[in-house]
Amino acid sequence: MERMFVKCCLLLAALAASATWQQIDYKDDGSTLDNTDFNPLLPTKFVIHGFTQNEKEKWVNEMKDALLTTGPMNVVVVGWGEGASAPDYPKAVANTRLVAKQVYMLVKLMIKKGMDVSRIHLIGHSLGAHVSGYVGADLNGQLGRISAMDPAGPFYEGSDERVRLNPSDAKFVDVIHSNGKPITSAGAGMFASCGHVDFYPNGGKSQPGCPDFYSNVWKTILRLDFSADPLNTTSCTPPLLVMSQSPVTAMTCYL
């Protein structure tokens, strides 16, 4: 039986913020990757959108440009808009597994080309956060880092760690919770801790008066540099208050 795929647009940009997108195919022998500016010696960032979104989102392209201004790197945007479209949320949830397999196939191809898996950083929003977790699980937790912005809550909140993002999915998992109200109160994100460090701006449930909240979220991710030795860090980045830590394998921080 032929393996099922979700229509997935994988776009790579490298070297500079002005770089144009180059499309790559996770199913080929690596020829499309060879025809891009991909450099296996550089750190690699994946940006994965969530439910109802696609690769053309403003925040996705702003993040690509911002990442590339910090230095040479490979940035891959995973666009799975058809599989993440409304109103069929349960179908989109099911599609996360297929998208994760497609990303995993590309990561394995990059590793074959000489990429160090510990230098790969996945950044996911909503369902994209759980896609990132599945990729990390398939790689036995060897990914360098996963950053999650409002991991989707419905079907995931309270579920077993094996079916959602969790700290074992990468060497370091940082999570920002901003929309963690119950679904009955129009919330959409998980409220439960699911990373090594979890941040809860304004208590993590709502952000009134913040129309450009996600622009600020990705700027926060860029500022968070735990690369030196994240699991041995003993305090949060100021001005965050550490509410609980044990002993920084799980840390909860409130702005």
On whether residue 197 sits in a domain, the answer given is yes
Other residues' Cβ atoms within 10 Å of the Cβ of residue 2: 4
- Asked if residue 205 lies in contact with residue 176, where contact means CB atoms within 8 angstroms, the answer is no
On whether residue 90 sits in a domain, the answer given is yes
Structural domain total, the chain:
1
Predicted TM-score (pTM) of the model is: 0.82
pLDDT of residue 8: 85
- For residue 49, which of 195, 148, 136 has the smallest C-alpha distance? 148
On whether residue 233 sits in a domain, the answer given is no
Residues of the chain with pLDDT under 50: 1-3, 225-249, 255
On whether residue 213 sits in a domain, the answer given is yes
CATH of the domain at 195: 3.40.50.1820
On whether residue 180 sits in a domain, the answer given is yes
Question: How many Å apart are CA 185 and CA 55, to the nearest integer?
Answer: 28
Determine how β-strand 241-245 pairs with β-strand 251-254. Answer: antiparallel
Tokens of 207: 């952000």
Question: How many Å apart are CA 54 and CA 3, to the nearest integer?
Answer: 23
On whether residue 165 sits in a domain, the answer given is yes
On whether residue 104 sits in a domain, the answer given is yes
On whether residue 42 sits in a domain, the answer given is yes
**Model pLDDT for residues 61-120, shown as the tens digit of each residue:** 888 888 888 888 999 999 999 999 999 999 999 999 999 999 999 999 999 999 999 999
**Model pLDDT for residues 92-107, shown as the tens digit of each residue:** 999 999 999 999 999 9
Domain carrying residue 18: 7-222
